[in-house]
Structure 1
């Protein structure tokens, strides 16, 4: 059976202005900690309402670290081309120290073009920059010295402080569906963090098989695959199902607006720009229906069977995305019911 974690992306949106913006994150992280779930995954997003509460995952991760005792605290993701590797090693070492050794990071190369105003590199070079940055962060985390060039062109040897509790950084690569990223993660001895946007379960199984094969070829064992799934526990009524579908469609419509600046899929960006509003609504409705069928937007009684299905895809961990549109009270109720099934 898969293990279960919580994942966040857009809590405290404009639809719920009266709620304390980080209330869902902190309250559900404590509940998950007490219930024995595996981890919480905190994203990085910039310059849009979609996920706007999380411009730097290390900051809310530090808050979670200070208010929990055992649950793993992971970035899902750090967009590495937007950060200097030294800053990443320093910030997450603080999270690791605050949590007593519970920090982990999934690294991403980035896809939203506007984000690269924060980068020293061109977006077209993002995959190489991520790959080099991964090596640097891992070395710094271990306490190794690395040489960097300052603004005057001088080479300076750096060793970061504070020292983390964990001698090795638990690491994943975030993949939107590229088998190349799955295989790169396998070659690096990293895990994979992925989702079902743009890939079907059968395709995901094939990519996981490629990842396991590459891990084995590099002496890294089976590895670890985490799948993000939209999650909301329904009461079985038609009204609850209709509301969930509407919230998912609204969430997906908002998400699609970012595709206009998608540097990872330029053809998709062009296609989005050419769409009419009716086209977008139709695609969002179809996507919402699919996520209800394949995700954890279901009744409490259906959750064990759906988790068993995900386990059959050779997934190790499900990261339940809980804040994709509902108000805070509904999210908290849903998490209570989810934990009631799992504990």
Structure 2
């Protein structure tokens, strides 16, 4: 099973640029250690993930300072962007990296994000599927027709051309069986997490994905997991509990505004503060058991469990609240254990 790093930077409370310093320092270390990839998110208009409004920008920075590691968007919210623009930007990342770019596409889930879009949010899944086809075609150097604001149609071919003849592609999902199947039929990988699905659900989704897979091999499942290597002390465990609780609390605020899940959003808005605290406690316990917030001694067994779900790659989410020094110390322990 392959190991990567992923990022979300839940806060801007530290000094300016600190999230990017974590990104660049950890990417260098992961590159030297031979990890698979770094996954870079897209977020808008909220503290949660605020340092990452455009993964291609930070992707270019990572590409310039590394030599081997994959540079991947996790994700590009495709309905917020013109497909030609996505193809152009990521071709630059592919050129800068010597052919290491990859994109996981998402349909979007927050109504306010769609101020950046030309489309109604209700059409997001259709727009994403059509956009993936367009980006892939442009990546291959094909001409594609697009219409301007006046209704006039133009055939365009994007520049620069990338190094890779085909774009490595994933689709991001929180656990929707339909999205797993869509990825399989499109011959795309899946980037997913355990926030909205239990391990049993994930295993079933992966099995259905393998059945619908249309490309060579068996496809590719990447699972994002919160990761921090503990030193075995009570203080270390308590610090991790506090950071996870804060992270999950902030994420609940984001989910509360999720227009793609009206029922879930309404449930969160109706909760009392005591109920919210109880949900956070349950989440901390759950991710403490299922994630990679553990000691180095526990890490091999946890990875073996994840492998049993038929996961191909773990994307270790490392920046969910700890300071730079703590993140780098944990990453060093992770890499030492994996070596």
Q: TM-score if structure 1 supplies the norm length? A: 0.97
Retained in 1: the 8 A contact 2:4–2:37?
yes
Do the aligned partners of residues 212 and 61 (structure 1) sit closer, same or farther apart at CA in structure 2, a change above 3 Å counting?
Answer: same
Which of 280, 284, 289 is equivalent to 1:284?
280
The equivalent of 1:44 in structure 2 is 42
The equivalent of 1:174 in structure 2 is 172
Which of 72, 75, 78 is equivalent to 1:74?
72
2-side partners of 1:258 and 1:17: how far apart? 23
Retained in 1: the 8 A contact 2:3–2:35?
yes
The equivalent of 1:7 in structure 2 is 6
Q: Map Cα deviations across residues 80-137 of structure 1 (whole Å, 9 max, x no partner).
A: 0000000000000000000000000000001112111101111111000000000000
Alignment of 1:26-175 (within 5 A): 26-175=24-173
The equivalent of 1:264 in structure 2 is 260
Alignment of 1:187-336 (within 5 A): 187-215=185-213, 218-336=214-332
Q: Map Cα deviations across residues 175-209 of structure 1 (whole Å, 9 max, x no partner).
A: 10001000000000000000000211111000000
Report the CA distance between 1:19 and its aligned residue.
6.1
2-side partners of 1:279 and 1:10: how far apart? 26
Retained in 2: the 8 A contact 1:186–1:220?
no
Retained in 2: the 8 A contact 1:16–1:328?
no
Report the CA distance between 1:261 and its aligned residue.
2.1
Retained in 1: the 8 A contact 2:104–2:191?
yes
Tell me the SS of whatever aligns to 1:115.
Answer: helix
Tell me the SS of whatever aligns to 2:224.
Answer: strand
Tell me the SS of whatever aligns to 2:18.
Answer: coil
Report the CA distance between 1:73 and its aligned residue.
0.4
Retained in 2: the 8 A contact 1:95–1:103?
yes
Retained in 2: the 8 A contact 1:19–1:328?
no
Report the CA distance between 1:291 and its aligned residue.
0.4
Retained in 2: the 8 A contact 1:7–1:41?
yes
2-side partners of 1:74 and 1:278: how far apart? 39
Retained in 2: the 8 A contact 1:15–1:327?
no
1-side partners of 2:28 and 2:17: how far apart? 18
Report the CA distance between 1:280 and its aligned residue.
1.3
Retained in 1: the 8 A contact 2:12–2:50?
no
Tell me the SS of whatever aligns to 2:293.
Answer: strand
Retained in 2: the 8 A contact 1:40–1:74?
yes
Retained in 2: the 8 A contact 1:187–1:214?
yes
Report the CA distance between 1:259 and its aligned residue.
1.8
Q: Map Cα deviations across residues 118-160 of structure 1 (whole Å, 9 max, x no partner).
A: 0111111100000000000000000000000011110000000
Query: More displaced, 183-192 or 263-272?
Result: 263-272
Count of matched residue positions in the alignment of Structure 1 and Structure 2: 339
Report the CA distance between 1:328 and its aligned residue.
1.1
Q: TM-score if structure 2 supplies the norm length? A: 0.98
